[in-house]
Structure 1
Amino acid sequence: MTLTGEDSTVGADPLEPPLMAPLRRDLTWAQVQFMSQSVGHRQDPVLQRIRATAAVRRGTRMIKVLSAAQLAGHLAGWLPYGFCYRACDIAHLRTPAELSLLRTDGAGEDSVAYALRWRATDPIDFEIPMGAAQSGLPALPAHSRVGAMVLGTGFTPSTDDLIPEFVTAGFADLPMPANAQLLAYPGTGDEVVLYTYQPEQHGWLRLAGPRWRHLLEGVPGISPDREYVPCTDAGSATLVGRINDNEYQAIADPPDDFRVRALTRAARYSVQTLARRAEQALWRNVPVWVLQRDESWARLRLVRPDADSVASVGARCYERGVYEVWAPVRELTDHHIAELPYQL
């Protein structure tokens, strides 16, 4: 993070532009911090300009802090979704106590913090929970939410830090890009890479050596000695690409590699177009993602949760900002496959 009165960004990673604020006598660090934590400054143009400097580019490293149960879910095939952060904005937080404020499950501090880190496929996959984009979340009552309150300023609640937060667009699942990592942060200040994602094999390769094997002992259903963990959950979002008139299942390896999914390296051709696909529908006139379904029932996630839509469908908050519900398939309307094209 850079707080400066100059426009210079010399030495900054172009994929991770720093958060910048034009500090001066009448705009001090304390004032910026106060504005970021005050609901009265949601529409403040100065705060909005500061927040806009924390941009996501194609290839920006994103991170989501996880519990042990959430780590197990991603090992099983969960995809990135919900609240997340740019890795550069929280690089100074390295212990479970420091990372606990970023957890989405509402639980307290554990002896080990976990995280999912991946590179953004495209900026359109992310929204800032600020203003009209997520206007309903700050108004949800305490009994209807999990985790920290959504302030609506674009910054996470904190008494000390200025951390810009993001949410996956419409709380959608995002296809897991190549070389995503599952991390652990013990109380020593170390960052330990536990697993890396292998997209062609659709599984996680363990990288943690014997010294760090104990960090996996508290993860439910996972053997610390297992070197490869295949994903059993197919996920609700897929990438597709085209080469001429042919369509293929695709893999993203941002910032530059978007290819056909193939086990043999010689067949991993670069795709000419790329798009994300997922099921959408309406239930009781509320837009939802269809996460999974059988012939009778479907698990749904609200696209734009607010007090009215949550009450209308009786959705439950499973983690910060994420509201899901089961519904009869026969009651869904406008059920279709939504396709979001990326500009390569």
Structure 2
Amino acid sequence: MQAPPAASTGTTEIVWHDRRYRARAIAGGAAFELYADTREPGFQPSGKTFHRYVHASEVESSGGELLLAGVAPVSVPVMPGADAATVHRYSQNPRIGPAERALVSAVRTTAFVNTGTRMVKPLSRHQVAKQLTAAPLVSGVCFREFDVAHLRAPEDRIVLSGDPDDVRDTSFTLRWKAIAACDYTSTEASHYPGLVGIPGRERRGSMILGTGFLPSGTHLIPEFTTAGLADLPLTARAEILAYTADGAEIALFQYQPQTNVWNRMAGARHRDLVNRIPGLETGRALFRVDPSVHAGLVGDHEGQRVPVTADPGHGFNAYTRGAVSRSPVTHPQRFYTRARWRDVEVLALGRNEDWVRLRLSQPDIEAIMSTDATCVERGVYECWAPLGELENPHTVTINYPTAENPAAS
């Protein structure tokens, strides 16, 4: 499945709250930038006019932008006593009863991921610096871009943050395409029963409610995690973005898998945004990263098992001297490393001589206390352990579906 076509960047006319506005579709039709000639509630100055951002599901438009986005919006069943306001109220309560939870869960299942779905993960400045120098992987809590496309200003994106930053006029985000639905799960308590009960002193960012939705007094936003909180391989042309106070989106870096390099995309005009990232050399344009030995993507190519990369919508590729091989890749698999330590299920992330960095795959307060794990970002807890104390370290493989093997998962 290829990514959907982008909606037109020209202005159109839409209806929002029973009023007509000039508007511009953004994020492939997932949201609109509205324009007004005079200041209205929620509108900010933009040159000689005023503007604000709203989700495409909130407006009436004859352009079919919501369909062009190619992503199914969250849907509320048509039944007595169920409407968007009711579902939102239930979604913000981690202690709802069985009937209410069943309704919220039914709504949550309407938000799903397909091959090629654009995913995003908010990053702090320090996380950006780490992403540019660490293995090309992503993990933790994330969102479909479609669901958060209307949150453009940094002050609006704070609610998404998994690692709160002290910079409020700029926010950063990692964006990539999903390889397969099996790589993602919701944050519902049925998947992570221990996260809901973790006290505030052991958390970063907002609480995981266990309903599958983000804590927000205004928005109904489904949230995801990488499956089992494991590392996923980044896909071709993943991007690190910056959002400025006026809602502008600037691509700062793009990942090129054929050379394992992050290319700087932002020019001199946006040098100040790049300079906000700590530890970067002034003027540096290329950031080479090394693949991880604990997680990644492999496939069969010309009779050998080799590292490969994914370009959702276009398949899997092996590279020879920096160029795409003409030979096809078959049986692609994602792999990661699991183990047990102190009777706790963990993921092995990296090694430093005789010590191994670990991540809890099912965080709860008992596991945190037993391993002395630290919350490194929202919902993610990591620690170090002596290599010799790990029990049953082993590699787990996930088969990806292909045209030759569509049933794999």
Per the normalisation by structure 2, the TM-score is 0.78
Distance 1:134 1:42 in 2: 18
User: What stretches of structure 2 of length at least 5 have no aligned partner?
Assistant: 1-54, 403-409
State how 1:46-85 maps to structure 2 within 5 Å.
Answer: 46-78=103-135, 79-85=137-143
Uncovered stretches (5+) of structure 1, i.e. residues with no partner:
none
Q: Secondary structure at the match of 1:38?
A: coil
What SS class does the counterpart of residue 134 from structure 1 fall into? Answer: coil
- Sequence identity (%): 37
Q: What displacement does 1:169 show?
A: 0.9
Post-superposition shift, 1:231? 1.8
Deviation at 1:206, TM superposition (A): 1.1
Q: Indicate yes or no: 2:370 matched with 1:315.
A: no
* TM-aligned CA deviation for residue 308 of structure 1: 1.6
Residue-by-residue CA offset, 1:114-158 (whole Å, 9 max, x unaligned): 000000111111110103211110011111111100000100000
Once the two structures are TM-superposed, the CA of residue 260 in structure 1 deviates from its matched residue by 1.2
Which residue in the other structure is 2:36 paired with? none
SS at match of 1:89: helix
In 2, the alpha carbon distance for the partners of 1:84 and 1:90 equals 11
Q: Which residue of structure 1 lines up, in the alignment, with residue 90 of structure 2?
A: 35
Cα shift at 1:75: 0.8
Q: Does structure 1 conserve the Cα–Cα contact (< 8 Å) formed by 2:317 and 2:325?
A: no
Which residue of 247, 251, 265 corresponds with 1:193?
Answer: 251
Give the aligned residue type for 2:105: Q
Offset at 1:42?
Answer: 7.2
1:167 maps to 2:222: no
Give the aligned partner of residue 178 of structure 1: 236
Q: Distance in 2 between matches of 1:282 and 1:200?
A: 35
Match in the other structure for 1:141: 199
Q: Is 2:158 the partner of 1:103?
A: no
CA gap 1:218/1:286 in 2 versus in 1, 3 angstroms: same
**Which position in structure 1 is the counterpart of 2:312?**
254
- Deviation of the 1:64 alpha carbon: 0.4
Task: Label 1:13 to 1:280 Cα distance change in 2 as closer, same or farther (>3 A).
Answer: farther
Structure 2 residue aligned with 1:302, among 330, 343, 360?
Answer: 360
Give, in angstroms, the shift of residue 83 of structure 1. 0.4
Q: How far did 1:289 drift? A: 1.0
Change (3 A) 1:164 1:175: same
Q: Partner residue of 2:286?
A: 228
Q: Secondary structure in 1 aligned to 2:138? A: coil
Residues 68, 114 of structure 1: 8 Å contact kept: yes
Distance 1:295 1:215, change over 3 A: closer
Residues 92 and 193 of structure 1, relative CA distance in 2, 3 Å threshold: same
Matched residue SS, 1:150? coil
Within 2, Cα distance between the matches of 1:153 and 1:341? 29
Cα 1:159/1:266, change in 2 over 3 Å: closer
Kindly indicate whether the alpha-carbon contact (under 8 Å) linking 2:124 and 2:164 is maintained by their aligned counterparts in 1.
Answer: no
Contact 1:214 1:224 in 2 (8 A): no
User: For structure 1, which segment, 172-181 or 263-272, has the greater mean C-alpha deviation from structure 2 after superposition?
Assistant: 263-272
1:225 Cα shift?
2.2
- Structure 1 residue aligned with 2:75: 20
Once the two structures are TM-superposed, the CA of residue 40 in structure 1 deviates from its matched residue by 2.9
Distance in 2, Cα, partners of 1:42 & 1:113: 36
**1:210-263 alpha-carbon deviations (Å, 9 max, x no partner):** 221211111011135222221257474110001464211110011232111333
Instruction: String of CA shifts for 1:62-115, please: whole Å, max 9, x gaps.
Output: 000111111111111252110000000000011110001111113455221000
Counterpart of 1:113 in structure 2 is 171
Cα contact 1:41–1:153 (8 A) shared by 2: no
CA deviation after TM superposition for structure 1 residue 14, in Å = 7.8
Secondary structure (helix, strand or coil) at the match of 2:95 reads: helix
1:285 correspondence with 2:285: no
Q: Which amino acid aligns with 1:45?
A: A
AA in 2 matched with 1:18: P
Max radius of gyration: which structure? 2
Is the CA contact (8 Å cut-off) linking 2:176 and 2:238 kept in structure 1?
yes
Which string of whole-angstrom CA distances, capped at 9 and with x for unpartnered residues, describes residues 149-200 of structure 1? 0000100000111110000111111111111000000101100011110001
Distance 1:16 1:42, change over 3 A: farther
Give me the whole-angstrom Cα distance separating, in 2, the residues matched to 1:155 and 1:41. Answer: 13
Residue of structure 2 equivalent to 1:326:
384
Distance 1:281 1:135 in 2: 20
State the Cα distance separating 1:32 from its structure 2 match. 1.8
Q: Which structure has more RCO (C-alpha within 8 Å, separation ≥ 6)?
A: 1
